[in-house]
Amino acid sequence: GNSVTQMEGPVTLSEEAFLTINCTYTATGYPSLFWYVQYPGEGLQLLLKATKADDKGSNKGFEATYRKETTSFHLEKGSVQVSDSAVYFCALRKISATSGTYKYIFGTGTRLKVLA
Amino acid sequence: DAGITQSPRYKITETGRQVTLMCHQTWSHSYMFWYRQDLGHGLRLIYYSAAADITDKGEVPDGYVVSRSKTENFPLTLESATRSQTSVYFCASSEAYRGYPEAFFGQGTRLTVV
């Protein structure tokens, strides 16, 4: 079945450090891929997306590249800030071949804590 | 206000009671979803709807009922609440077009069953 696996947290970094959060997926075809961010007490917000192989999504200094060959969509940022402290979710949107409907499947989330 | 709103934001109920969580979106999105968020499990899909009057089960549907008589509303009902249904519930909506594949989330409802 379809699934998303992301690295266990929490991840603790110092300000200005380089961030990588790994995400791999299992799905047939070419699902759309997403990273969402959740700040304390809030809902999920879209951070970036990619809809086809080799697409690079980017936003607010974060980047992720859709790698079909490794079924991965790792999140990176060159220099994190304290304000980036949040929970990050990797997700995919998969269309059912039988019903034509789609749904989103999420990873378990990775908590990032950035220290000043 | 435009967007997707959930109500109530917080709810405490007793075991065995029926409780309904509301979700309303103003974009006329075709799809709507209900997820629950629990530590260690991430977000798990409860039910989803591809259009008004079309609903389908997700990963963890037991104990929940949904309906969608209007495009903009997608209420989630716990018929007889149990402590295991204590969770944060998120509603989301999205459009069907491939060019806009992302889902938009509400602020969540924190439900405690005592």
Across B68-82, average pLDDT = 97
Yes or no: say if A76 and A88 are a contact pair by the CB < 8 Å rule.
no
Q: What is the pLDDT of residues A4-25, one digit of tens each?
A: 999 888 999 999 999 999 999 9
Q: What is the token pair recorded at B16?
A: 């065995």
Q: What is the pLDDT of residues B26-61, one digit of tens each?
A: 998 999 999 999 988 889 999 999 999 999 999 999
Calculate the CA dihedral of residues B59, A110, A10, A55 and round it to 10 degrees. 150
- pLDDT bracket for residue B1 (50, 70, 90): low
- pLDDT bracket for residue A61 (50, 70, 90): very high
* Mean pLDDT computed over every residue of chain A: 94
Across A70-87, average pLDDT = 97
Tell me which residue in A32, A43, A106 faces B42 most closely, judged by beta carbons. A106
DSSP-derived secondary structure letter, A60: T
SS3 (DSSP) at B84: helix
Interface residues on B facing A, Cβ-Cβ cutoff 8 A: 31, 33, 35, 40-43, 45, 48, 50, 56, 58, 90, 92, 94, 96, 98, 101-108
Above 90 in pLDDT, residue B105? Answer: yes
* Of residues B61, B8, B63, the one with CA closest to residue B33: B61
Above 90 in pLDDT, residue B96? Answer: no
CB contact under 8 A, B90 and A43: yes
Q: What is the token pair recorded at A100?
A: 């034509």
Phi, psi dihedral angles at A32 (to 5 degrees): -75, 145
Residue A55's CB: how many other CB atoms inside 10 A? Answer: 16
- pLDDT bracket for residue B108 (50, 70, 90): very high
- What pLDDT score does B107 carry? 95
* Position A105, amino acid: I
CB contact under 8 A, A43 and B56: no
Pairing of strands B4-7, B19-25: antiparallel
